[in-house]
Structure 1
Amino acid sequence: MKKIIPLFVLALLFSCQNTAQDKSKQQAVINADPIEVPIKNGKARAYFASGCFWCVEAIYESVKGVEESISGYSGGYTKNPTYGASNTGRTGHAEAVEIIYDPKIVSFETLVDVYFGSQNVTQVNGQGNDRGSQYRSIIFYQNEEQKQIILKKKAVLAKELGVKIAAEVYPFQKFWIAEDYHQNYEKLHPNHPYIKNVSIPRLNRFKSKFPELLKREP
């Protein structure tokens, strides 16, 4: 996907369907009770998976009320997942982001709108050329209220568009922070081919759709 090798070569390496997931272990994750992350210093946390975390991190950091977006892994059944391990599809995890936000400024409901409004909602196991279970779309809920918000918005969107929405809905269990070199990647590497050709266009498409949600430019 995104390492320092040509984009198309890497796409060939990782464009598998990753059917090697352990279905029983994955089902146990889906059936688990959600874990609620307490508000700390007035800030709440939300978790989303939507393809490459470089792209998603930058999108959420452009939104008013979002303090920080952290890249990592979630939704799987192995401990201490790494980038290399998650790319095999055998950990169950997807590339995800932890969104630290001020609920007085931006609601969880709006963050879900950002989620659906910044991706191809019909693509299964990936976004664009990033394909495989590690790039699948997942929205994580921490309580019943969040779950119902997600399910309602997903149903409304499916009816409006007349399509099946690919995003899975998982109870949040744990977020594993990705390696340091993945953090703030778009900001730190604006000339990387993947960033120029994939991340930035995706970010700009989101900005054009939701100008009212954007932070003011410094």
Structure 2
Amino acid sequence: MNILKSVTFLSLSILLISCFGFTDKKETQTETKATYIAKEKTKVAYFASGCFWCVEAIFESVSGVEEAVSGYAGGHTLNPTYKSIGTGKTGHSETVAVYYNPEKVSFETLVTVFFGSQDPTTKNGQHPDYGTQYRSIAFYETDAEKAIIEKMIAKLNAEVYHGKIATEVTKLKKFYKAEDYHQDFERRNPNQGYIKAVSIPRLNKFKKRFPQLLKTDKH
């Protein structure tokens, strides 16, 4: 019985500090992010590096980024949902669409943010979330974007990671916006267990490492 209780407690603990530990009970939330309407000069970049609650918050802290939207990409299943990608069988990864002003922040800088806010050597996950749905992917839509990503990987592999980067470089086929209750999740749920234990510390670590890239009151 004591062993059973220990296993149950451990399972619950893992669930509480997992991106997928969020239940469906809040799917009916009325406070959601409206569909973002891009400005004339706005461009979009797509990145996946673990739980999209964390990734969205990181990119939204960057000067020149107008909005970040959580969603799913990189897989083969049509119309994926949070439940379906949680099985790890859809091929999709939790992905963030980053709307940015290229006159204020370059695609290359966003790629720097992407690699600088994760452990790109981890295959299929970012601690404490593991599975293909949490794998690291740098998406591109043009040859120029692909070249920037591959140049960054080559540089980091040579100077920092000794050839161990596991990030996939994939051409974007389609991005599916995630359910509304995932949007701005960290901002709206600062006291949620996973947010306090994982997401906020990850954001703060990024801010400490790249203070020059952060938004100010004037941005």
The alignment status of 1:8 with 2:8, answered yes or no, reads: no
Give the equivalent residue in structure 1 for 2:179: 179
Aligned residues: 191
Equivalent residue letter for 2:204: N
The superposition leaves residues 144-164 of structure 1 with CA deviations (integer Å, 9 ceiling, x where unpaired) of 111010001001101112241
Counterpart CA distance in 2 for 1:144 and 1:74 is 19
Identity in percent = 57
Could you tell me the TM-score, scaled by structure 1's length? 0.83
Q: 1:69 to 1:202 in 2, by over 3 A?
A: same
Shift of 1:9: 3.1
Shift of 1:166: 1.2
Aligned pairs for 1:68-147 (under 5 A) are 68-147=67-146
Counterpart CA distance in 1 for 2:51 and 2:217 is 25
Segments ≥4 residues shifted beyond 2 Å:
9-12
Could you tell me the TM-score, scaled by structure 2's length? 0.83
The alignment status of 1:48 with 2:47, answered yes or no, reads: yes
Shift of 1:90: 1.1
Give the equivalent residue in structure 1 for 2:150: 151
Q: Which of the two has higher C-alpha Rg? A: 2
The answer for unaligned runs of 5 or more in structure 1 is: 15-38
Shift of 1:177: 0.3
Q: 1:217 to 1:196 in 2, by over 3 A?
A: farther
Equivalent position SS for 1:84 = helix
Counterpart CA distance in 2 for 1:40 and 1:52 is 27
Counterpart CA distance in 2 for 1:43 and 1:112 is 17
Q: Does the 8 Å contact 1:66/1:99 carry over to 2?
A: yes
The superposition leaves residues 52-101 of structure 1 with CA deviations (integer Å, 9 ceiling, x where unpaired) of 00000000000000000000000001111000000111111000000000
The answer for unaligned runs of 5 or more in structure 2 is: 1-10, 21-37
Counterpart CA distance in 2 for 1:143 and 1:44 is 12
Q: CA RMSD in A?
A: 2.1
Equivalent position SS for 2:158 = helix
The superposition leaves residues 149-200 of structure 1 with CA deviations (integer Å, 9 ceiling, x where unpaired) of 0001001101112241011000011100000110000000000010001000
Counterpart CA distance in 1 for 2:12 and 2:114 is 28
